[in-house]
Structure formats: structure tokens, C-alpha cells
């Protein structure tokens, strides 16, 4: 039985749920209201082993993977709080491609009306929820860059969306921020992303946290533009993609985590970074900051609860 322990509500309407699984592990789920619909951010693991330098999720290491049913229960609890969920992002605690089979099974379940109806009848959280299937184009899976699984994800029958957490324009900086880059450097990651776009004809989102004085300079923006422009051609010079039609950069404000020394870039610096990308032909968006008045960063609410319990 998945139990709701705590709910935090931001002044912008964002809701963050602390949930307890059958074995007592705590996870988080976030519900956001957008002009285009209601979006739920799903957790795929209890804890995380990726060790990204800026992320609260990795402060506590992975205890276990979640099942597709446990991910589904998160969705049902969120939908009860704010009905008519229209978009799903698997970007909560954990690395989804480190739990690949269950994540893909969850995506398949919630995008299939027949399987969904059967799952609702069996759900251990809520009964008789009037929830409709979510189209694959409204389901996004995020990875920090596990290259073999990007290739595998390109082979799925349904065309779900892919987001790649990039956060740095070169290997030296990305190695510092994201240890996964030491195993799958940019020389492997970017071609894998290009191949994914070529095979699926779906657009990739590159997520980029703007960290003050770390990765937010004009030089970093130029490096990033050069890096992503390389997706347009392969090693032989053959054109793979038409311009940047198959990818864009989502620039994200950073929700500070007390355990780390990072700060978010200023609005002025974020706009400068955005402007450099756009002038270099790289499509970009500046994500609106949400949940700033609550423990908005992934893993923070769970971490605070565990710290209080262990005192």
C-alpha cells in the first residue's frame, strides 16, 4: 500500500507529495499546473547512484528500483489531488534508465487504455479513478546519459519523449558535475542523441541547469552551441538532421540545496545565455521557476523527513 505522508503546496500551485512504499521507503512525486495541462513528475528509484554534484536525490544512495505499479500509484495519488493529468515526466528521484525495464513498462501501461483500466482496478492506492490514457507524445523520460539505453529506447514501438540532462558543454566540467560522463563522455552521448532523433523523428530536450559562476558564462553558451551543432552531421560530414529541428535546450533555474554550495544564475545571466544560444541557431527555452517557496529540488522533502527521524 502506497501511503501519502505529507503534501507541500507552493504559492504557484505546485504540489509535492511525500509517499511511503510498502517497505517503508520514502519517495517524492511532484504535480505542476501549466497552461497546457497538469503535469506529474514521477520517481523511478528510492535513492540514486548517479552522484550528480548539484542534486539532492543522490545524497542518499539507491536502495532499490521501483516497480511500474509503484510508479503508477504515484500518478493516481497526484490525479486525485488535481484531476485530469495530461503530461507525465519521469524526472524525479533516480535514473530512469538504471531501471529501464520497469520504466518502459510503466510508460506502456499509462499510454494504453485497456492496460490502464485493468491497472486501476488492481491499484492498491485508490479505486475507481476516472483517469484516461496519456498519449506517448506527452510522456517524457529523462536520463543523465546512459548511452546504451538511449539506443535501446530508440527501438521502442511507442515513441515516447526523451530528455537528456546535460548541464555542461565540455567533458572537463561535466565530469565534475556528473560522474556518469566519465563512462559515457560527450563524444558518445551526442552522437547517440543524434542517432535517436534520426531513427525516431522525435525531438530531444537537453536539460541545462544554470549554476552561478559554474556553467552559465557566455563562453559556456558558445561551447554548448558548438557542441549541439555537431548533431547535424556525422563523422564523415553526412547531414543527419535539419538544423536544430530535432532538439532544443531547456534552461532551468536551480533550486538551491543546503548541502551543496551551488547557486542559481541571475535572471540577467540566464537571459544572456539564452540569447547566445538563439543567435547561434540553437532553439532554447527558459523554464519558469516553480516551487521556489517549498523544498522544490528532487529529494529534499524526503531527505528532510529522514533527517528528522534519525535525530
What are the catalytic residues? 28, 298
Q: Report how far residue 36's alpha carbon sits from residue 27's, in angstroms, rounded to the nearest whole number.
A: 26
Contact between residue 136 and residue 106 where contact means Cβ atoms under 8 Å apart: no
Residue 193 to residue 62: CA distance in whole angstroms? 26
Residues in the chain: 311
CB atoms within 10 A of CB 217: 15
Amino acid at each position: 500500500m502506497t501511503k501519502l505522508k505529507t503534501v507541500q503546496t507552493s504559492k504557484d500551485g505546485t504540489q509535492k507529495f511525500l509517499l511511503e512504499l510498502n517497505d517503508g521507503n520514502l519517495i517524492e512525486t511532484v504535480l505542476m499546473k501549466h497552461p497546457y495541462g497538469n503535469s506529474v513528475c514521477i520517481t523511478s528509484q528510492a535513492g540514486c547512484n548517479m552522484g550528480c554534484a548539484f542534486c539532492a536525490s543522490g545524497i542518499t544512495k539507491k536502495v532499490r528500483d521501483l516497480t511500474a505499479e509503484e510508479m503508477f500509484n504515484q500518478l493516481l495519488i497526484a490525479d486525485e489531488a488535481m484531476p485530469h493529468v495530461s503530461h507525465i515526466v519521469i524526472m524525479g528521484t533516480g535514473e530512469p534508465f538504471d531501471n529501464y525495464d520497469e520504466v518502459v513498462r510503466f510508460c506502456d501501461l499509462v499510454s494504453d487504455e485497456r492496460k490502464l483500466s485493468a491497472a486501476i482496478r488492481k491499484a492498491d492506492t485508490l479505486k475507481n479513478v476516472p483517469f484516461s490514457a496519456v498519449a506517448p507524445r506527452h510522456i517524457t523520460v529523462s536520463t543523465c546519459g546512459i548511452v546504451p539505453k538511449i539506443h535501446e529506447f530508440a527501438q521502442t514501438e511507442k515513441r515516447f519523449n526523451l530528455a537528456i540532462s546535460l548541464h555542461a558543454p565540455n567533458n572537463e566540467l561535466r565530469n565534475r558535475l556528473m560522474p556518469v560522463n566519465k563512462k559515457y563522455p560527450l563524444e558518445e552521448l551526442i552522437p547517440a542523441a543524434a542517432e535517436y532523433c534520426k531513427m525516431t523523428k522525435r525531438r530531444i530536450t537537453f536539460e541545462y541547469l544554470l549554476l552561478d559562476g559554474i556553467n552559465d558564462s557566455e563562453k559556456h553558451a558558445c561551447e554548448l552551441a558548438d557542441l549541439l551543432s555537431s548533431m547535424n552531421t556525422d563523422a564523415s560530414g553526412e547531414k543527419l538532421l535539419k538544423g536544430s529541428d530535432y532538439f532544443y535546450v531547456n534552461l532551468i533555474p536551480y533550486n538551491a540545496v543546503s548541502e551543496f554550495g551551488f547557486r542559481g544564475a541571475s535572471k540577467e545571466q540566464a537571459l544572456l545565455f539564452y540569447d547566445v544560444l538563439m543567435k547561434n541557431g540553437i532553439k532554447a527555452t527558459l523554464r519558469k521557476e516553480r516551487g521556489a517557496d517549498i523544498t522544490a529540488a528532487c529529494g529534499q522533502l524526503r531527505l528532510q523527513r529522514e533527517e528528522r527521524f534519525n535525530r
